């Protein structure tokens, strides 16, 4: 499973990218707004730091304008993925952009039927928002399972990108459900390594090593 960061915080992205296990990045208009950086400069910085796919979203409401925006966005860097909304206009734009060999990510998916539409339109990624489903008392991870099963029946090549990740458990459950990618906020990503038994074990090991009086040559 690939790990993407869901962020536009450039300094945090650079810090976490030093782990060597970040495979890509997702953004959205809200995150771009929070970055308080000129759009072109921000996208250039992000695409230079992250070598894998970087999703950048269109903001138009009709397919023709989405396509025009998508073409412009795709030319900003070689690793750009054009993000499109899960609407009929977004599906039409996805179909056209996919036929132009432009990679796409259909976002705000909340049902299996929506995921099928994206796959039929040739989307590179479909982004089910599992955290927001959980907020509505719906099992978000179950949607990942359903999409995975449906895609396996028909050999759809669209990758399942689990989004709206709120907890470490979301990451684990998405992996168990067969998600191809999980896009993780920096705070959640940073917490993945944490476990109190790891901390206790290291404390014991370090204490015993100091008592031994030895050195590693």
Alpha-helical segments (H) within the chain: 10-17, 29-35, 39-49, 63-74, 88-99, 112-120, 130-135, 140-154, 168-177, 186-191, 196-212
Radius of gyration of the chain (CA): 20
Pick from 102, 128, 105: which is nearest to 115 by CA?
128
Pick from 128, 132, 95, 135: which is nearest to 112 by CA?
128
Q: Distance (Å, rounded) from C-alpha 50 to C-alpha 116?
A: 29
Residues carrying an active site annotation: 83
């Amino acid at each position: 499973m690939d790990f993407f960061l869901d962020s536009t915080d450039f300094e945090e992205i650079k810090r976490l990218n030093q782990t060597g296990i970040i495979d890509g990045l997702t953004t959205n208009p809200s995150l771009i707004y929070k970055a308080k950086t000129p759009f072109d400069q921000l996208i250039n910085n992000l695409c230079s730091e992250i070598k894998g796919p970087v999703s950048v979203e269109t903001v138009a409401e009709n397919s023709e304008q989405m396509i025009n925006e998508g073409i412009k966005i795709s030319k900003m860097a070689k690793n750009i993925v054009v993000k499109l909304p899960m609407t009929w206009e977004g599906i039409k734009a996805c179909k056209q952009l996919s036929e132009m060999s432009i990679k796409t990510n259909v976002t705000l998916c909340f049902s299996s039927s929506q995921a099928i539409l994206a796959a039929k339109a040739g989307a590179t990624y479909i982004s089910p928002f599992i955290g927001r489903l959980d907020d509505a008392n719906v099992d978000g991870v179950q949607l990942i399972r359903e999409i995975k099963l449906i895609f396996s029946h028909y050999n759809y090549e669209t990758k399942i990108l689990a989004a709206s990740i709120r907890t470490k458990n979301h990451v684990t459950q998405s992996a168990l459900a067969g998600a191809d990618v999980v896009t993780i906020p920096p705070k959640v990503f940073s917490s993945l390594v944490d476990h109190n038994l790891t901390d206790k074990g290291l404390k014991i090991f370090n204490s015993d090593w100091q008592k031994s009086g030895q050195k590693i040559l």
